[in-house]
């Protein structure tokens, strides 16, 4: 198999484009696809300051890398979700990459700020882990962007991610979610920053290939909470279809953007107002993130009281032993202060 | 596992309904689901004469059986598609079942009428086999229903069939097809008979279970042309999803009917006129079926001329040998006469 540009040995076949490239021309292809996404979607220009949300994984680091090379003004944002060892390692990868790039990186530290991580948010409120995590990330990158004057936030969602989310929304005909699934979500409120996905034309394996060829050191492990996640199941089904008919994912997602979304997007945007706690835009009195953290903090307080009353009921020696084996976490008091950036 | 009605040993678990039934109560469940589909969809009443298209397979024979038991006035229609041994065997199954039921069965014989089967239609016109077959069946059951005064045609498409077709249409965002995918397609022209799918609430394995419990002798083999068909690939992907989350197919298809279809069905119905050859309704001057059979007949005539001119060029002895080893099929002259019913 030969590179369609220079006829040297091809490194990567891209079946849905009936194309194959050597490493050098694959990088060109990748850059062109991202630039095309940015330009045709009017995502941002070289005058905009773009906040790139980086997880330490291949997609977001590849995105940051390519945007820098294309001459856009970028700043990274790493959100520490408090998922044990996984968060520590991914933060190290993001920080090391930022240093090698010589680009600024902001850190939003959820455990440091809220006294617990997204897994505790989830278990305290009965949400699925991925739901609590997604809500936290969306909330935080919007807030950080506002606080630091960024006009646009870019995330590393690729074609496989978008196709899988779309399939899930179609399997349950979640029309409200379908209406908002696009690579460009404009700002519909002064405190809601524009969100863009410049990798929506890029398949997952292409993002991985880009990261490998560029020598980007990314975290290979999936998030431990993603085991059994529906999104992985949807990707498996789509991979089966893509294998038999290359281009299926692209056809599903791009066809949706061209022909499905205009049919679904009939309804007006919901009316947004300021959350009474944090002033972030919300459709309710209190935003979903504040409701979640408030409930999680309440649960933590109740647990602490329960543990204290258990201690009182026991002999002082027993109570001391119980306390030392089940210590109340030092971060149990949740606050709504500013993010430590 | 126990039957949820009588607590005896269950024969079949229906995970998407969180239910399990013994054989007797499964048959009740099956009948209720079909009756509910017929009544809520206003498909037909006990006063209507219903033409049931039967292929000799489990779904269509189960449909015919259950409609008879529910007291509807039914007549079967078997369409011989000219697919060799497969068509012969499936016709025998349909005819034997009709005799056991004591119900009338009409036969539409494509090779007998058009001089060739659907595979020849396909190869002569460059269509995929399944496309030529589907077009032929839709054309013929409408025409037979009109000629014999039926007000409605019922086919045995089940939930798995409909979900797979829907998935295929979504993967390519074929909005024109999506707008017409419903269990009830009303008559939109005096010569277009209403079409209904009373098994749309029934999964494929439930139709098979019904046929087995009722002792219906159906053809088990799939059509030989279905090997590699996209519909089977879509079913495989949906089975993967259903296995992990029972109810996925139902959620996809029913959700589409409730929330997707109303969004997509914005456009007006196309203007129909009479085909200049057969007077069946069409959006063009000549309907797709007549165009296909005309092209196939032309190809057959050209082939015959070619064979004859080859014969003339050879010595008379060679020509005779050539003719006897490659005989022109006796049915090569296609006609557009009435169906032999």
Residue A164 has pLDDT above 60, yes or no: yes
Residue A266: pLDDT band (50, 70, 90) is: low
B127-140 pLDDT tens trace: 988 899 999 999 99
pLDDT in the model for residue B333 = 33
**Interface mutation vs chain A, best among B159, B237, B249, most A CBs within 10 Å:** B237
Residue B320: pLDDT band (50, 70, 90) is: very low
Interface of B with A in 84-143 (CB under 8 A): none
Q: Do A237 and B241 touch (CB under 8 A)?
A: yes
Q: Do B264 and A263 touch (CB under 8 A)?
A: yes
The CA distance from B249 to the nearest CA of chain A, in Å, is 8
- Interface membership of A227 toward B (CB under 8 Å): no
- Interface membership of B264 toward A (CB under 8 Å): yes
Among the partner-chain residues B171, B237, B251, the one whose CB lies closest to the CB of A172 is B251
**Domain extents in chain B:** 23-219+255-269
Query: Using CA atoms, how far apart are residues B164 and A310, in angstroms rounded to an integer?
Result: 57
Query: Using CA atoms, how far apart are residues A316 and A312, in angstroms rounded to an integer?
Result: 7
pLDDT in the model for residue A271 = 87
The CA distance from A168 to the nearest CA of chain B, in Å, is 9
- Interface membership of A252 toward B (CB under 8 Å): yes
B161 touches B77 (CB < 8 A): no
**Interface mutation vs chain A, best among B173, B179, B253, B260, most A CBs within 10 Å:** B173
pLDDT in the model for residue A316 = 54
pLDDT in the model for residue B161 = 97
B229 touches B130 (CB < 8 A): yes
Q: Do B173 and A255 touch (CB under 8 A)?
A: yes
The CA distance from B198 to the nearest CA of chain A, in Å, is 22
Query: Using CA atoms, how far apart are residues A269 and B9, in angstroms rounded to an integer?
Result: 53
pLDDT in the model for residue B314 = 62
Closest CA to B157 of B231, B216, B72: B231
What rounded mean pLDDT belongs to chain A?
A: 89
Residue contacts between A and B (CB atoms, under 8 Å): 68
Average pLDDT over residues A301-322: 63
B243-300 pLDDT tens trace: 999 999 999 999 999 999 999 886 667 789 999 999 999 999 999 999 999 999 888 7
Spell B81-111 as b/e; 16+ CB within 10 A means b.
bbbeebbeebbebbbebbeebebebbbbbbb
Q: Which residue of A has its CA nearest to B176?
A: A259
What percentage of chain A exceeds 70 in pLDDT? 89
Residue A331 has pLDDT above 50, yes or no: no
Residue B162: pLDDT band (50, 70, 90) is: very high
The CA distance from A170 to the nearest CA of chain B, in Å, is 7
Burial of A176 (0-12, 13-18, 19+ CB in 10 A): exposed
Average pLDDT over residues B53-64: 97
Q: What SS3 class is residue B181?
A: coil
A176-225 pLDDT tens trace: 999 999 999 999 999 999 999 999 999 999 999 999 999 999 999 988 98
Instruction: Provide, as residue numbers in chain B, all residues whose Cβ is less than 8 Å from the Cβ of A175.
Output: 259-260, 263
A75-121 pLDDT tens trace: 999 999 999 999 999 999 999 999 999 999 999 999 999 989 999 99
Q: Do B172 and A259 touch (CB under 8 A)?
A: no
The CA distance from A20 to the nearest CA of chain B, in Å, is 24
The CA distance from A262 to the nearest CA of chain B, in Å, is 10
- Interface membership of A313 toward B (CB under 8 Å): no
Q: Which residue of A has its CA nearest to B178?
A: A260
Exposure on the CB side of residue A9, measured as CA atoms within 13 A: 1
Q: What SS3 class is residue A227?
A: coil
Average pLDDT over residues A256-270: 84
- Interface membership of B325 toward A (CB under 8 Å): no
What rounded mean pLDDT belongs to chain B?
A: 89
Among the partner-chain residues A171, A238, A256, the one whose CB lies closest to the CB of B251 is A171
B209-248 pLDDT tens trace: 999 999 999 999 988 988 878 999 999 999 999 999 999 9
Q: Which residue of B has its CA nearest to A237?
A: B237
Among the partner-chain residues B171, B259, B260, the one whose CB lies closest to the CB of A248 is B171
Instruction: Provide, as residue numbers in chain B, all residues whose Cβ is less than 8 Å from the Cβ of A259.
Output: 173, 175
- Name the token pair of B55: 């292929």
Residue B336 has pLDDT above 80, yes or no: no
Q: Do A241 and B245 touch (CB under 8 A)?
A: no
Query: Using CA atoms, how far apart are residues A228 and A206, in angstroms rounded to an integer?
Result: 24
Q: How far is CA A141 from the centre of its chain?
A: 9
Average pLDDT over residues B37-60: 97
The CA distance from A263 to the nearest CA of chain B, in Å, is 6
Instruction: Provide, as residue numbers in chain B, all residues whose Cβ is less than 8 Å from the Cβ of A251.
Output: 171-173
A225 touches A129 (CB < 8 A): yes
B144 touches B40 (CB < 8 A): no
Q: Do B241 and A245 touch (CB under 8 A)?
A: no
- Interface membership of B317 toward A (CB under 8 Å): no
Residue B313: pLDDT band (50, 70, 90) is: low
Residue A321 has pLDDT above 50, yes or no: no
Domain spanning A23-219+255-269 has what CATH number? 3.40.50.620
- Interface membership of B172 toward A (CB under 8 Å): yes
What percentage of chain A exceeds 90 in pLDDT? 77
B52 touches B60 (CB < 8 A): yes
């Amino acid at each position: 198999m030969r590179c369609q540009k220079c006829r040297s040995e091809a490194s990567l076949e891209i079946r849905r484009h009936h194309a194959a490239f050597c490493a050098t021309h694959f990088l060109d292809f990748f850059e062109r696809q991202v630039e095309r996404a940015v330009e045709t979607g009017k995502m941002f220009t070289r005058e905009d300051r773009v906040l790139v949300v980086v997880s330490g994984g291949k997609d977001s680091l590849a995105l940051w890398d390519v945007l820098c090379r294309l001459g856009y003004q970028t700043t990274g944002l790493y959100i520490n979700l408090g998922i044990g060892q996984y968060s520590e390692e991914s933060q190290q990868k993001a920080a090391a990459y930022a240093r090698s790039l010589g680009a600024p990186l902001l850190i939003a530290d959820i455990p440091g700020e809220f006294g617990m991580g997204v897994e505790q948010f989830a278990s305290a409120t009965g949400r699925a882990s991925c739901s609590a995590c997604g809500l936290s990330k969306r909330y935080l990158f919007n807030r950080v962007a506002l606080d630091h004057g960024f006009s646009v936030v870019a995330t590393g969602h690729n074609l496989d991610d978008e196709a899988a989310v779309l399939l899930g929304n179609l399997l349950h005909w979640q029309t409200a979610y379908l209406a908002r699934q696009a690579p460009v979500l404009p700002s519909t409120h002064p405190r809601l920053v524009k969100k863009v996905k410049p990798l929506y034309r890029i398949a997952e394996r292409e993002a991985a290939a880009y990261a490998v060829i560029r020598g980007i050191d990314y975290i290979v492990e999936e998030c431990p909470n993603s085991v059994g996640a529906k999104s992985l199941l949807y990707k498996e089904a789509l991979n089966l279809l893509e294998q038999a008919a290359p281009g299926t994912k692209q056809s599903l997602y791009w066809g949706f953007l061209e022909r499905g979304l205009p049919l679904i997007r009939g309804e007006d945007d919901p009316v947004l107002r300021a959350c009474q706690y944090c002033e972030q835009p919300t459709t309710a009195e209190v935003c979903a993130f504040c409701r979640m953290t408030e409930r999680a903090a309440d649960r933590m307080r109740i647990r602490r009281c329960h543990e204290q009353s258990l201690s009182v009921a026991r002999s002082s020696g027993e109570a001391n032993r119980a306390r030392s084996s089940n210590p109340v976490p030092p971060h149990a008091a949740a606050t709504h202060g500013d993010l430590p950036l």
